[in-house]
């Protein structure tokens, strides 16, 4: 119940205290207050104490808006994330938020419509003068990319690439991963293959599809049943149902990501009473947390989110400091994680850390 030390008005203090008010109370100049709250400024101990005392009393907090205006840096990172339930995005966003927080940045969130273009939303972001833009599985018009480039605004894509090489990106090894999965399924003596595509225009989907087909083509497999799940649970359920209802259903299904694969497993088991891993093999891509839940036991190709995010942060930092940085397309290695959702080949499976992995002959024994 200690009384307000400054004034006893009935009206509650309606606006936050300013540096000027602190200065007045402490009997110093306003710039002295600024210095006390600027790391690495030169202030005497006496001054620091006086100011901090006054600040404490008034509940003063530096106004970052005002600071941003003059420093031209907001310490905000705009992050676009698709508005779907795919746990991969949650993991990525979480890691991004945590990693950037560690180096003094906050995340300004933008939910992007996975179907529509994200330009209008990003247009908005720029007004907030974010220091950088990170796009999780979100595409970008090249026009907009140019504009950002011109304004010197760092942009990085996570889990997606642009067509040109104008925007740096960090992604998993989609092509190789999908190819390995194809080789894995081939080695497991599967015969009838199906591909459940994600969003048609996403680079991840294209690369994974290309890799998968490429892998199959090496063994002269040309026929692959193709359906489109659009990375959505609803669509996936529909198309996988169709797939499994066929008179000659596939015995190997590659879903372009884990989320769709989980939906597929679910459907195969609950609706078709299939034993996933023996009656039908289902594999995915990402290695999200639930993939390793025993109930799913999804065989998949991993995308190490933590590593990818760390790389994103690096790229942003580099762009922030250097004047001009080449727009590198970073590829983060993954591994084929063997669990129970697909028939396991006789050879090639090895113990690695606390899980089983598989490497095609071509890649076996390649040291890293």
> What residue ranges bind its own copies (CB under 8 A)?
12-16, 59, 61-66, 68-69, 72, 74, 76, 79, 83, 85, 87, 89-91, 93-94, 97-98, 101, 106-111, 123-124, 126-129, 147, 149-152, 233, 262-263, 265-267, 269-271, 289, 293-295, 297
Residue 323: exposure state from Cβ atoms within 10 A (0-12, 13-18, ≥19): exposed
- Residue nearer to DNA on the CB measure, 15 or 222: 15
Q: Which phi and psi (to 5°) does residue 78 adopt?
A: -75, 125
Radius of gyration of the chain from its Cα atoms, rounded to whole angstroms: 26
Query: With contact defined as beta carbons under 8 Å apart, do 313 and 326 qualify?
Result: no
Q: Could you give the CA distance from residue 33 to residue 51 in angstroms, rounded to a whole number?
A: 6
Q: What are phi and psi of 329, to 5 degrees?
A: -95, 100
Of 19 and 170, which has the nearer Cβ to DNA? Answer: 19
29 contact, one of DNA, its own copies, none, CB 5-8 Å limit per kind: DNA
Identify which of residues 66 and 350 has a Cβ nearer to DNA in the complex: 66
Q: Which of 225, 199, 197, 220 is nearest to 210 (CA)?
A: 197
- Considering the complex, state which of residue 40 and residue 365 has its C-beta at the smaller distance from DNA: 40
Tell me how far apart the alpha carbons of residues 21 and 203 are, in angstroms, rounded to a whole number.
54
Which of the choices its own copies, DNA, none does residue 298 contact, using the CB cut-off of 5 to 8 A by kind?
none
Shortest Cβ 130–its own copies spacing (Å): 10
**Distance separating alpha carbons of residues 195 and 209, to the nearest angstrom:** 8
State in angstroms the smallest separation of the CB of 294 from its own copies: 3
Nearer of residues 27 and 234 to its own copies, judged by Cβ: 234
Q: Closest separation between CB of residue 153 and DNA, Å?
A: 14
For residue 60, the minimal CB distance to its own copies (Å) is 10
Phi, psi of 71 (to 5 degrees): -80, -15
Q: Which residue has the tokens 């390793």?
A: 292
* From its own copies, DNA, none, interface partner of 271 (C-beta below 5 to 8 A by class): its own copies
Buried b (16+ CB within 10 A) or exposed e, 46-74: ebeebbbebbeebebebeeeebbeeeeeb
Task: Using the minimum distance from each CB to its own copies, give the nearer residue, 72 or 220.
Answer: 72
Question: Choosing among its own copies, DNA, none, which partner's interface includes residue 107 (Cβ < 5 to 8 Å by kind)?
Answer: its own copies
Nearer to DNA (CB atom), residue 69 or residue 115: 69
Minimum distance, C-beta of residue 266 to its own copies, in the bound complex (Å): 4
Q: Which residues bind DNA (CB under 7 A)?
A: 15, 18-20, 28-32, 34-35, 37-38, 42-44, 46-47, 60, 62-63, 66-67, 69-72
Closest CB 123 distance from DNA, rounded Å? 14
- Shortest Cβ 113–its own copies spacing (Å): 10
Identity of the residue, 105 or 184, whose beta carbon is nearer to its own copies in the bound complex: 105
267 binds, among DNA, its own copies, none (CB under 5 to 8 A by kind): its own copies
Instruction: Give the one entry of DNA, its own copies, none that residue 76 binds, where binding means its C-beta sits below a cut-off of 5 to 8 angstroms depending on kind.
Output: its own copies
Question: Least distance (Å) from its own copies to the CB of residue 354?
Answer: 14
DSSP code at position 333? -
Token pair recorded at residue 272: 């078709």
Per-residue DSSP letter, 276: B
Task: Give the residue among 292, 305, 354 at the shortest CA–CA distance from 332.
Answer: 305
- 82 within 8 A of 52, measured Cβ to Cβ: no
Q: Note whether 245 and 201 are within 8 A (CB).
A: no
Q: Which does 57 bind (CB under 5 to 8 A by kind): its own copies, DNA, none?
A: none
């Amino acid at each position: 119940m200690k009384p307000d030390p400054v004034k006893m008005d009935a009206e509650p203090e309606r606006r936050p205290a300013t540096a000027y008010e602190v200065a007045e109370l402490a009997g110093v100049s306003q710039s002295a207050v600024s210095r006390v709250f600027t790391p690495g400024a030169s202030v005497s101990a006496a001054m620091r104490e006086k100011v901090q005392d006054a600040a404490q009393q008034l509940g003063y907090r530096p106004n970052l808006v005002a600071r941003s205006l003059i420093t031209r840096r907001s310490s905000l990172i705009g992050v676009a994330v698709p508005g779907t339930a795919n746990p991969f995005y949650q993991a990525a966003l979480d890691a991004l938020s945590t990693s950037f927080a560690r180096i003094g940045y906050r995340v300004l969130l933008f939910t992007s419509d996975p179907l529509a273009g994200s330009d209008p939303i990003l247009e908005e972001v720029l007004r907030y003068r974010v220091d950088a833009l990170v796009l999780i599985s979100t595409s970008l018009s090249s026009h907009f990319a140019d504009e950002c480039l011109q304004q010197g605004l760092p942009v990085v894509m996570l889990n997606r690439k642009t067509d040109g090489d104008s925007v740096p990106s960090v992604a998993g090894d989609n092509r190789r991963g999908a190819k390995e999965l194809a080789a894995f399924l081939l080695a497991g003596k599967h015969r009838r293959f199906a591909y459940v595509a994600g969003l048609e225009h996403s680079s991840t989907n294209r690369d994974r599809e290309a890799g998968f087909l490429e892998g199959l083509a090496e063994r002269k497999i040309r026929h692959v049943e193709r359906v489109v799940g659009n990375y959505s649970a609803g669509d996936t359920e529909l198309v996988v149902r169709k797939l499994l209802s066929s008179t000659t259903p596939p015995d190997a299904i590659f879903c372009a990501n884990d989320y769709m694969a989980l939906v597929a497993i679910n459907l195969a088991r609950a609706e078709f009473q299939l034993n996933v891993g023996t009656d039908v093999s289902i594999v995915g891509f990402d290695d999200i947390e639930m993939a390793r839940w025993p109930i799913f036991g999804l065989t998949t190709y991993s995308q190490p989110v933590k590593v990818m995010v760390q790389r994103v942060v690096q790229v942003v930092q580099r762009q922030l400091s250097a004047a001009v940085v080449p727009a590198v397309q970073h590829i983060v290695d993954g591994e084929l994680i063997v669990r129970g959702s697909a028939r396991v080949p006789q050879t090639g499976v090895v113990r690695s850390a606390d899980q089983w992995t598989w490497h095609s002959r071509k890649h076996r024994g390649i040291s890293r």
